[in-house]
């Protein structure tokens, strides 16, 4: 990162010390956003936008295991902030690169600790650091964020009532005021409407430390951290380990250490939220010298559709013939991968080194190689970790392209260390990773770009056993504004059975999405997902060749991303650009909606073919009804689109060739 010193006259524009109260004020590059750091009576942070308070004076600090509180600010006679400016290359992110600019201030605390603050135009961040040599055991971290009277918040609560730290980080967002919110742990991100702007709490650079939860306490959100595991136990099913007993501290580290970044992303417009890049910008840069081998793409997936083929002359299931059929389908539609999900090895025994008798893995790898289709294998996290080097080396040598690793279901310090071990070993063996059953990303995908996807989202799998009250169409246009700020999502779209609010039913073997077929298509553009699924059966797609060809041809990574229109919980319209081609995806909740799109972003004096996949005229009654039209447009054109209840659309724009 470039650290560019500025003359003192310019420094005064973004930095001041109010000596009477020992307050330090650090401003954003544009001067509008301010972090006000106080040391009286203890360390605290206040955030203002145009001098209006977004977060009031909030105590922050660390408590060591011996009771020492880290938060005594040592204000020197002269403090010189630093201006940071960096062009960040971001492969497989929502754009290929972006400019990051901030003003930074490093301050000393007691006991060889310190704290760093950064203020960007789009948010504020801070992190603690330690520069001594001894081991520190962190009893707790102090973070009581004061947002004021009865602010509206979007909180995703833990779904585990026995051990709230042990769950899959999958829930809908509960819209509530902080004073009436449940006194229950919520996982990040969490968003608060502060009037002038929305503030979203995130974290980045989560190394050797637990992840953050928050809990409403009056008008505050108080940080809570999973304690350090003391003893582990093992489930009989899937051979999964879990935390049986915890220590009374949250973390321990020896020697110098950087703690995670605490991020407050500030968004005046909802449309700015999905493209906020602070988590990625604050993450540790890539440790990989070569990323040419990492290939994003689409996946023909087996589990969501329950291997439920029809019209074939073999018994469909977890067997070689079925997977050859998936490979043939993937090859025909130029999909890069298939996944062998749970069942290809005996998961209850944890016998990952030996496929079941019905799966000839060597034959499938060679068959896929001939067809240009890679194979990704499902695995349980701890099963991988317990024999990590051997597993990665063995399957990489066989020709496997990566692993979908599942059921971590925790984010304490030892879990995060296991994740990093896995990312490193997979990278050394040129294996990509899809993290499922996983907490919200915290920047590790920048450090290890072979991590192509994360779950941590209430994705499509939930309709297999869910209820209508979960209101997936509303969630589908809520989480891009909140969860997607943290990074990509393993949402697993592509349902070919689609239900309206009136006729949707849960089904495990023949699952049905809530909302229209065009709504499903829009997910491929709206959601950041460089490794994404065609989740339904190949035979269902083959019955709709025009639709299947359309979604199969959509890219999974893009050069640029912009949200053109949208309101959290109501609708979203996203514009992407890839190799001078343009893609627009739009989605609504259960409300019908008319959208007008101005195409003035197109290059001047060039004609484009607009291919439009949108809701059919009968989509409110039959959610599978869609239409596919083509028009010639230019930068002076507008598109007028009607979205059915739970509807959507995709527009592709390609220059007319003469």
pLDDT greater than 70 at residue 146 = yes
Q: Does residue 40 or residue 147 have the better pLDDT?
A: 147
Q: What are 117's strand-pairing partners? A: 105, 126
CB 484 within 8 A of CB 202: no
- Of 219, 461, 476, 536, the active-site residue reads 461
Q: How confident is the model at residue 12 (pLDDT cuts 50, 70, 90)?
A: very low
**Nearest residue to 210 (alpha-carbon basis) of 63, 413, 62:** 413
Its sign, for the CA torsion 81, 86, 91, 92, is positive
Q: How many CB atoms are located within 10 Å of the residue 560 CB?
A: 16
pLDDT at 40: 82
Write down the domain spans for the chain.
24-282, 297-455+489-497+516-556
Whole-model pTM over 0.85: yes
CA distance 514 to 500: 6
pLDDT at 21: 53
CB 630 within 8 A of CB 609: yes
CA distance 276 to 129: 25
- The CATH number assigned to the domain with range 24-282 reads 2.70.98.10
Run of H or E residues at 46: strand 44-49
User: 191-229 b/e with 16+ CB inside 10 Å = b?
Assistant: bbbbeebbbbbbbbbbbbbbbbbbbbeebbbbbbbbbbb
pLDDT greater than 80 at residue 10 = no
How many DSSP H helices and E strands does the chain contain? 12, 40
Among residues of the chain, what percentage have pLDDT more than 90? 94
Q: Is 500 exposed, middle or buried (0-12, 13-18, 19+ CB in 10 A)?
A: buried
Residue recorded with tokens 């495990």: 508
Q: Mean pLDDT, the chain, as a whole number?
A: 95
The predicted model gives 23-51 an average pLDDT of 95
Q: How confident is the model at residue 16 (pLDDT cuts 50, 70, 90)?
A: low
Q: How many CB atoms are located within 10 Å of the residue 637 CB?
A: 17
DSSP assignment string, 349-414: TT-TTSB-TT--HHHHHHHHHHHT-EEEEEEEHHHHHHTHHHHHHHHHHHT--EEEEE-----SHH
The token pair that represents 464 in the structure block: 């297999």
How open is the CA angle 476-330-646, to the nearest 5 degrees? 20
pLDDT at 329: 98
CA distance 234 to 247: 18
Q: What is the pLDDT of residues 417-430, one digit of tens each?
A: 999 999 999 999 99
pLDDT at 126: 98
pLDDT at 2: 40
Q: What is the pLDDT of residues 276-289, one digit of tens each?
A: 999 999 999 999 99
Q: How confident is the model at residue 1 (pLDDT cuts 50, 70, 90)?
A: very low
Q: What is the pLDDT of residues 26-36, one digit of tens each?
A: 999 999 999 99
Q: What is the pLDDT of residues 250-272, one digit of tens each?
A: 999 999 999 999 999 999 999 99
| Contacts of residue 49, Cβ cutoff 8 Å, sequence gap at least 6 | 32, 33, 34, 196, 197, 266, 268
The predicted model gives 510-515 an average pLDDT of 98
pLDDT at 3: 38
Active site residue 406: yes
pLDDT at 7: 38
pLDDT at 20: 41
- Of 406, 409, 455, 471, the active-site residue reads 406
Query: Do you find a cis peptide bond into 360, omega within 30 degrees of 0?
Result: no
Q: What is the pLDDT of residues 429-475, one digit of tens each?
A: 999 999 999 999 999 999 999 999 999 999 999 999 999 999 999 99
CA distance 171 to 154: 11
pLDDT at 54: 98
Distance of CA 332 to the CA centre of its chain: 30
User: 474-498 b/e with 16+ CB inside 10 Å = b?
Assistant: bbbbbbbbbbbbbbbbbbbbbbbbb
Name the CATH superfamily, with its identifier, for domain 297-455+489-497+516-556.
Answer: Aldolase class I (3.20.20.70)
pLDDT at 121: 98
């Amino acid at each position: 990162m470039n650290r560019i010193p500025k003359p003192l006259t310019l420094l005064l524009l973004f930095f001041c010390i109010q000596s009477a109260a020992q307050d330090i004020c650090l401003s954003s590059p544009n001067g509008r956003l301010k972090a006000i750091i106080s040391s009286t009576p203890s360390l605290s942070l206040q955030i203002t936008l145009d001098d209006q308070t977004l977060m009031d004076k909030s105590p922050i600090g660390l408590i060591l295991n011996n009771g020492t509180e880290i938060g005594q600010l040592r204000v020197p006679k002269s403090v010189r902030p630093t201006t940071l400016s960096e062009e960040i290359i971001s492969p497989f992110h929502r754009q290929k690169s972006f400019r990051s600019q901030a003003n930074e201030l490093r301050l000393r605390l007691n006991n060889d600790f310190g704290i760093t603050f950064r203020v960007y135009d789009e948010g504020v961040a801070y992190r603690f650091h330690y520069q001594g040599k001894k081991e520190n055991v962190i009893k707790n971290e102090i973070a009581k964020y004061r947002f004021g009277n009865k602010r509206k918040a979007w909180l995703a609560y833990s779904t585990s009532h026995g051990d709230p730290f042990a769950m899959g980080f999958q829930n809908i967002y509960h819209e509530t005021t902080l004073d009436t919110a449940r006194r229950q742990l919520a996982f990040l991100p969490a968003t608060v409407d502060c009037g002038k702007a929305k503030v979203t709490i995130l974290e980045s650079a989560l190394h050797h430390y637990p992840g953050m939860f928050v809990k409403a306490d009056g008008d505050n959100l108080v940080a809570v951290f999973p304690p350090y595991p003391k003893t582990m136990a093992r489930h009989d099913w899937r051979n999964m380990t879990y935390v049986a007993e915890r220590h009374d501290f949250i973390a321990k580290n020896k020697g110098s250490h950087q703690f995670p970044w605490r991020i407050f992303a500030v968004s005046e417009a909802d449309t700015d939220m999905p493209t906020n890049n602070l988590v990625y910008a604050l993450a540790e840069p890539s440790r990989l010298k070569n990323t040419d081998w990492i290939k994003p793409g689409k996946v023909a997936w087996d589990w969501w559709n329950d291997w439920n083929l029809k019209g074939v002359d073999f018994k469909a299931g977890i067997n070689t013939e079925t997977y050859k059929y998936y490979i043939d389908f993937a090859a025909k539609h130029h999909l890069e991968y298939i996944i062998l999900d749970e069942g290809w090895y005996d998961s209850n025994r944890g016998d990952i080194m030996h496929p079941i008798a019905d799966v000839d893995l060597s034959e499938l790898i060679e068959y896929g190689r001939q067809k240009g289709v890679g194979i990704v294998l499902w695995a349980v996290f701890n099963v991988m970790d317990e024999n990590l080097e051997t597993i990665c080396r063995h399957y990489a040598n066989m020709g496997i392209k990566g692993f979908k690793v599942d059921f971590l279901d925790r984010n304490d310090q030892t879990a995060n260390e296991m994740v990093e071990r896995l990312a490193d070993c997979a990278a050394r063996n040129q294996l990509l990773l899809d993290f499922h059953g996983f907490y919200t990303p915290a920047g590790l995908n920048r450090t290890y770009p072979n991590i192509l996807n994360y779950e941590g989202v209430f994705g499509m799998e939930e309709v297999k056993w869910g209820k209508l009250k979960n209101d997936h169409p509303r969630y589908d246009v809520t989480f891009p504004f909140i969860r997607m700020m943290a990074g990509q999502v393993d949402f697993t779209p592509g349902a070919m059975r689609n239900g309206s609010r009136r006729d949707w039913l849960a089904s495990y073997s023949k699952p049905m999405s809530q909302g229209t077929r065009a709504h499903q298509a829009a997910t491929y553009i709206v959601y950041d997902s460089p490794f994404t699924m065609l989740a339904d059966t190949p035979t269902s797609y083959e019955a709709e060749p025009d639709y299947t060809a359309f979604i199969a041809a959509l890219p999974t990574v893009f050069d640029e991303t912009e949200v053109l229109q949208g309101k959290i919980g109501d609708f979203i319209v996203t514009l992407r650009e890839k190799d001078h081609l343009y893609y627009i995806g739009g989605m609504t909740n259960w409300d019908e909606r008319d959208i007008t799109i101005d195409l003035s972003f197109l290059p001047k004096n060039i004609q484009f073919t607009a291919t439009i996949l949108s809701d059919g005229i009968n989509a409110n009654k039959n959610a599978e009804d869609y239409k596919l039209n083509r028009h010639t447009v230019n930068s002076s054109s507008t598109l007028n689109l009607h979205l059915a209840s739970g509807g959507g659309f995709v527009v592709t724009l390609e220059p007319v060739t003469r």
